[in-house]
Amino acid sequence: MKKTEDGYKAMLNLLRDIGGNAGLQSMPQIGTILEPPPNIKVKWNGMVLDKKWFYIDDYWLQGHTRQIKGHIVSATQNRSGGGGDAMFASHNHDIDNDYTASIIYTDTWHVGDKILMIPIQGSDNKTVKQFWILSKGKRLDGN
């Protein structure tokens, strides 16, 4: 592979060389975000696909809410009161409580992000009808 060659395309070309086009449509694909949700557009295989092509993991949609619960054991920081009286000496308070909370996601994909696209085949078992988008990936070598 040349240093300037796209690693993702090189991998797909290698797989294509090994098996021809057999099963290529059902293999996971890599797309590039051109516009984030809700009006998502993805560049894939030289084409621009819009939102009608995708199922998207809820976690990637801004405003997605999750409920959490847990238990916290901690203590407040030491604080002292005024006047120098013993009852105002530096002290803390133990925390030992159950909690519930809501998390509202505010992040999403950004232009240029690489995403993993799993093809969903049509009833003919040959053509891709839609994609399921699972995640965003980042290469650690800077390419």
Question: In the CATH hierarchy, which top-level class contains the domain 7-62+108-137?
Answer: mainly beta
- Predicted TM-score of the model (pTM): 0.62
**33 closest CA partner among 138, 113, 102:** 113
Q: Domain locations in the chain?
A: 7-62+108-137, 65-104
pLDDT in tens, 53-63: 999 988 888 88
pLDDT tens track for 70-125: 998 888 888 776 666 766 778 888 888 898 999 998 888 999 999 999 999 888 87
Q: Sign of dihedral through CA atoms 113, 114, 120, 122? A: positive
